[in-house]
Chains A and B, each alone.
Chain A
């Protein structure tokens, strides 16, 4: 019997509809995941174009890859209220053309902004209200021919400026600038310096409170929030091994940002659960088990980069204990044979609906049996 046949649940970025991500196994519908995100969001589709995704629809995302991932993001707000730069300030001789027909924007329409510079000292700039902590500014940029190196300065509320000098080419690229400084003010600012006479094209300018950029949140006249992606399935005790089993994921973190991001099998509470966690320690994958509210097992494994895809599996057994496997190798074991009671919920979260598993996911599998070491190695080998 193959590993495929032994699985009780397999979820991949595949078939979906509003509020549902279909499981490959079982095909009866009992394993279909429930998707909640009460706002629209954007993704990169199979044609490489940014498109809006409706409320409660999971995001099958093709950013920089032909094989898609399930994209799970935190709640974020685009604090720049005009993502096409309208309303931004500029020196008088700079001309901005909105919805230019010179080229197609990253969403496949004519809605990029052309900035025509006639003096090398010009800039396009704006003040943006931000709170304390890291901010990240992102935008898409390109030119029509050749290349052009511009300068973008991002100031946060500390007054500290971080500078990026990206080279624009004839292909759309997304650039991000993170300013990690903290201060007590309430305003940040962004400056585009074209640095030479000629045209540049800008699309999707976004300022977020946070240490990395997330998917585009288009804005027109006000700041806009995209809710977090919440995916879980309750009432599946029949698909979760109660005395032994395996939880397997193939995923990549969106950033090494020192926050917890958890996937779990649980009883729907924080008291009884087995979790895999991109932990608050740098590039650390963590296995953590709670039974009756008490932490009974903790295994940490440091990888070189959590933003690279890894195959991670937890094997649990009331006779063998726990082991954490990452990329084909057993990275740590525990002799504890206590298994959390009444596990009936798979959640891309902490077990009760928080601390979402913010990541890109290729697959999630459950097994109701403790696979052999050979099978665990096969399952988790990249």
Chain B
């Protein structure tokens, strides 16, 4: 405190007088400058308060955000001379821990129009005096001020642009928010969620992929809350979080929208002024017909279709697909019509399952619950049941027992009704087991639906389902593709038995997932339960056909007992991260605060959104993230690795994922040392070279941080 007091006092009373020279305060160089060499009496002349702010310090916009103070100019002017309001260039975001400020760094010009008297003659001078006051902050805040002067000279016309400041004025004018002519703006308020809807005039396309809204009114918008941009037809929707309580008198919302590129028809202008009338919740967004535009529904549908097809290749679907393909071979000697019908029924099973999922998801979303793809996996009971199901299926494939239906199928004597049910239910089963697999495209597609109206979500889910069912349907329609498969024969039994092992491998994986969720005891209980279920299956297979009621009931009782034993009863607390082992990244637990804190320090951060039940995550960790070169590069660049473990449902992580438009893991996010740079999302399937490339692409500044910042 006392070591800094003299600085503050010095700053407080530092009010030097400028004639032409700029005034230097401890953190700012200030001066009044004129745009042109002369002014025409009776017209306005543009002058500017120019602040050159010391590196890493900042001054404030007219709404300073969560803290701070706008810069002020108090004019002392000759009679009959008037000064207009400050024309504020658009601000930037200045995050500060959990707070957010709006302001300027580097050099900023505050433009002011001066109305000059018509009575002056060419050659006359017009002295302007102003006291400028600003708050300049870094970690600490210093109020500074300067007494400034500028003498304008009247001319026959308004002279030439002053060459010293021509560039500065041009840039300042480009940074002024432009009026957004012919666009329509409206806003919908739903609780604390305000959605600003912008529609361009016909024939105009809104190309920006990022928008930031800076509200004019203070204490209205939650400044630090992320703003969500979605497409609405050719325009935008920007969702903004309001502070509580929302003002009763909020008739309209005005502010500045800053895009990441020029607005259509406004060269070099990234900022526009918007004023939107606030009404009730907005109607659903319009789909965008132009597939070139990011975020259009069509694009999401294409991704969903491809993602669904890729699901067939995922390890957790493949065994089921194998069973299905086997079914085709069994029936290949049957009628073509039956085969096709089977394919379509399989597709129907997939569709219905996805619709049920979509319905559940929408219902939960409507209920305010946070939901993500693969959420079933977060319930230990579901994991245990799935393990039991896969175990039973494996035993079945190994021939420990055979279901009546299967025996008949193999004999080629299946009734039409049973076959239909079989096809339909294998579609359902395929979906059930597909849930934990996030194919590379699917995360984005499903994430997209979170911000979409219900009908769009259903469409995306439908596309996913069609994509998933497509290969099987195609096989059923094009038997010549089937001909590529081996003829039915004895090998089928061998193949069937072999298919048991991927299922057993899945059981191992599920047991491991359960261990991560509910601890060692739960795994022991699961295996004990599986043992009972195994005995039940064996009894059923060996004696069930002997007719005795008891022999039918015993396996059922044993199976129920097995499930009861396997049922997990408690969860272990998540978040505990094992001490880093040699040769692995020194993970720290993720939290929003931690990210903000590290970023505030200018430290690059890598976040791994992961879960024990996510196979892709584990593969990436083993093969890419724990690669020796990657670990070394992390240390060299001082990148702090944070792990967001989603194994058990953590709503904070769900929320963070939603902010990236995702609701499934893995998601990898790399923040550079530049606080204002958008984070970079890495692909869902990583290789060490992808990670190294991204690390090497970090701005040079971050290399200066020698060690990971830990606290």
Q: Is the A/B pair a real complex?
A: no
Residues on B facing A (Cβ under 8 Å): none
Residues on A facing B (Cβ under 8 Å): none
